[in-house]
Chains A and B, each alone.
Chain A
């Protein structure tokens, strides 16, 4: 009965909303935001049409990578409550359609970026798609509890691509923007993994809390937030930004550490408060990234208008 229903569902063409859902629109908002911030914070100017094209291609590339990720992980998604209703595990779309859609989005984003914006930005975009869909999704995610550390690299590319779209070269600043998201991702995602860990265990994904337990995960969270502070402040230290960004980065990072300390010190078997500290840290981590990149752009715009040095 179940398979008959699935067959009947798949005989219909997938709804366009399911194609859209495959691109992970919520994740894409963060990608668009950080990519746009990288573009706006970069020295130099870019024509609005070219800038729009660059951000569009970053979003299309991220969407393509997300589709390929779900095409590959459909069986794993089916085992987790959080992902079981996605179009592929729910049987609303053929896997081949998802694969073709993901390949099309990825190829289109790279070609349009190359022709419309620049081939260095296009090359980094192409590598970021390959990194997320092959190196992370296929190779390392099912094999190592450090998967999130490696996966963080994929999400770290957008501000670098936005920056390179304006300047045309890779300098220290875009590398630092990359490093900020790279070191931000583990505490962000492990805070989430701490309160949804049963799902990952069921699906056999070697998330840090599943393999090494809560204790080492909590230690890693505080270590990454401590490392993140000097990296977040580094753009100011090297003279790439002004004092507005520098102070914002310092205060935001101290807040991140302050919320990570209680998470690192406690053991869940001794408390019963529905993981409030972990959920608070996760929510703050999202705010942290938005606020940090907003400060980066504000710093740059105020400096360009001569409000601050």
Chain B
């Protein structure tokens, strides 16, 4: 793997991890909200 490819590899891995983190955070908030709604019902 050339230095350019390695840099691209790291860039892609980082952006994927950020998106994955945002998705997981979103689901944590969603489950929290669903739990509250269900408990209140």
CB within 8 Å of B: which residues of A? 8, 11-16, 47, 49-50, 53, 56, 115-116
Contacts and interface: CB of A to CB of B under 8 A. Distances in A.
Interface in B1-41: 1, 5, 8-9, 12-13, 15-16, 19, 30-31, 33-34, 36-38, 41
B12 A49 contact: no
B5 A49 contact: no
Contacts of A56: 30
Contact of B19 (A11, A16, A50, A53): A16
19 contacts: A8-B5, A11-B1, A11-B5, A12-B5, A12-B8, A12-B9, A12-B12, A13-B9, A14-B12, A15-B15, A15-B16, A16-B19, A47-B37, A49-B36, A53-B30, A53-B34, A116-B31, A116-B34, A116-B38
Given A8-B5, A11-B5, A50 B12 contact: no
A50 B34 contact: yes
B12 A15 contact: yes
A13 B12 CA distance: 7
A115 B36 CA distance: 13
A13 B37 contact: no
Nearest to B6: A12
Identify which of B5, B9, B31, B34 gathers the most chain A CB atoms within 10 Å of its CB.
Answer: B34
Contacts of B30: 49, 53, 56
Contact of B33 (A16, A49, A115): A49
A49 B15 contact: no
Tell me if B's interface is mostly helix, strand, loop or mixed.
helix
Nearest to B40: A47
Interface of B: 1, 5, 8-9, 12-13, 15-16, 19, 30-31, 33-34, 36-38, 41
A50 B16 contact: no
B37 A49 contact: yes
B40 to A, nearest CB: 9
Contacts of A49: 30, 33-34, 36-37
A303 to B, nearest CB: 26
B29 to A, nearest CB: 10
Given A11-B5, A49-B36, 5 more contacts: A12-B5, A13-B12, A15-B16, A49-B33, A50-B37
A11 B13 CA distance: 12
A284 B34 CA distance: 39
A13 B13 contact: yes
A34 B12 CA distance: 34
Contacts of A14: 12
Nearest to B1: A11
A53 B31 CA distance: 9
A53 B41 CA distance: 16
B13 to A, nearest CB: 6
A13 B15 CA distance: 11
A23 to B, nearest CB: 13
A84 B31 CA distance: 38
Contacts of A16: 12, 15-16, 19
Nearest to A115: B34
A48 to B, nearest CB: 9
Nearest to B26: A56
